[in-house]
Structure 1
């Protein structure tokens, strides 16, 4: 099951009776989040606020998702591109930069039984994890005609030395038009945008893990200059680096550190699909 997922992870948020926290999800791969307790309200650029559902599917994203929530338990299932191909019968680009109710979209029908039955009368992390694992094992027989190609493209994408679409196509041994099709269908975006997202997330992750670097010390070597990075920050996060740095990160700062220890990468976009 490992090649299909980034992680199965639980986030427990506890605030006062009337309290709420707000944070920003970074650009990432697709996710199913199943919530018990306060239901979050999420906002993605260009769309109305989204909330009031217990099962949220977020397609692959190229922009931040701002969310506000109260006391809750949230199970997250991070779907790698291969996992999207395996468990969702729809092109990833049809759901890119979208938030969806898992109960309302036919493409997510296989996920509904898990959303409906995950939580018991009392919190039980081990039992919940077992239900998640068994549910996806029951769906895993679906064939993947392009599995080898998806694996190859993803392996090339996460290589920090790959800086252009031409490099990516050569390393994947694919014609550019085939690479474009595979990326849109299974990864959600064209290869040029995927490479830009990787470069940006490498920079943002460096800063989040060690703010003492300042932005200038965290910027990826493939950026031409700081001005280019600032433009990209606006593109992917919808704000300036200084505005983002000034915000509290009550959820994501801890999640990134824990994810680095557990999965070897602080964010989903940088997850190595070949990691044991």
Structure 2
């Protein structure tokens, strides 16, 4: 598997998390497990085949993942994906996150979203043009907050306001969404060659390594030590 990410330019910070490419590069059909990352994914499959519960079309969008998802890829499958923060998805008039969590929806070839994922070329310039001048909403600060109290301090919003906004944008309470972001950070950090599990747990905001292990089993389906050996980007 060859997986790569391109981070967005500063003007897209807080709207686009990354543009990624995946080349399965295997023989036959293979299984991979994707884990929650707190984002909405717009995906184009350039070749091959893919199955998540049922066969997927060439263009589709995946909702917020709340648990690990077992994906089947044909060995010649290649993809390009755009990882959006939920509030950016709603700026594109996407359906409420709560309505398709742990699911995917087809994107029609003539739909405006399809134009963001050309069959060749980099989607980033199109994203920059689409979001030109767009200021991320206050909830975007949740990416840098360790707790709801810290988020309230950063944004100047009350806990009740944050609960209402987060429910609208993510379909869950702020504490639950922070849990996904904490796990996302840990999955990324354990992939560093020099990563120590205890240090990763502390840096991600877990109470201790045992707490992180429980979360990896719950959200990733396996303990962090095994995840470290297998992980490539959001795949374990």
Residues 130-141 of structure 1 correspond to what in structure 2 (within 5 A)?
A: 133-134=125-126, 137=129
Equivalent residue, structure 2, for 1:193: 176
Residues 159-198 of structure 1 correspond to what in structure 2 (within 5 A)?
A: 159=144, 162-198=145-181
Structure 1 residues 87-96 or 172-181, which shifts more?
87-96
Structure 1 residues 95-104 or 189-198, which shifts more?
95-104
Q: Deviations over 1:129-177 (max 9, x none)?
A: 36x744884x659x98xx55x2x3222x222xx3321222222111212
For residues 92 and 209 of structure 1, what CA distance do their matches in structure 2 show? Answer: 31
**TM-score, structure 2 length as denominator?**
0.77
**Greater strand share, 1 or 2?**
2
Residues 68-217 of structure 1 correspond to what in structure 2 (within 5 A)?
A: 68-69=72-73, 70-103=75-108, 109-112=111-114, 118-119=118-119, 125-126=120-121, 129=122, 133-134=125-126, 137=129, 150=137, 152-155=138-141, 157-159=142-144, 162-210=145-193, 212-217=194-199
Instruction: Judge conservation of contact 1:21–1:68 (CA < 8 Å) in 2.
Output: yes
Equivalent residue, structure 1, for 2:32: 23
SS in 2 for 1:71: coil
Q: Deviations over 1:92-136 (max 9, x none)?
A: 2222332222249xxx95324666xx33xxxxx43xx36x74488
**TM-score, structure 1 length as denominator?**
0.67
**Residues 75 and 229 from structure 1, CA distance in 2 versus in 1: closer, same or farther, beyond 3 angstroms?**
same
**Residues 35 and 182 from structure 1, CA distance in 2 versus in 1: closer, same or farther, beyond 3 angstroms?**
same
Q: Report whether the alignment pairs 1:54 with 2:39.
A: no
Which ranges in structure 1 are unaligned for 5 or more consecutive residues?
43-48, 120-124, 257-266, 268-276
Q: Deviations over 1:178-224 (max 9, x none)?
A: 211221222343210122222222222221123x5342332135322
Aligned pair count?
A: 220
Which ranges in structure 2 are unaligned for 5 or more consecutive residues?
1-10
For residues 81 and 165 of structure 2, what CA distance do their matches in structure 1 show? Answer: 25
Q: Report whether the alignment pairs 1:219 with 2:229.
A: no
Equivalent residue, structure 1, for 2:6: none
Equivalent residue, structure 1, for 2:44: 34
SS in 1 for 2:190: helix
For residues 106 and 64 of structure 2, what CA distance do their matches in structure 1 show? Answer: 15
Instruction: Judge conservation of contact 1:91–1:184 (CA < 8 Å) in 2.
Output: no
Instruction: Judge conservation of contact 1:61–1:96 (CA < 8 Å) in 2.
Output: yes
Q: Report whether the alignment pairs 1:14 with 2:25.
A: yes
**Greater helix share, 1 or 2?**
1
**Residues 111 and 206 from structure 1, CA distance in 2 versus in 1: closer, same or farther, beyond 3 angstroms?**
same
Q: Give the structure with higher Rg (CA).
A: 1
Instruction: Judge conservation of contact 2:16–2:84 (CA < 8 Å) in 1.
Output: yes
Instruction: Judge conservation of contact 1:87–1:140 (CA < 8 Å) in 2.
Output: no
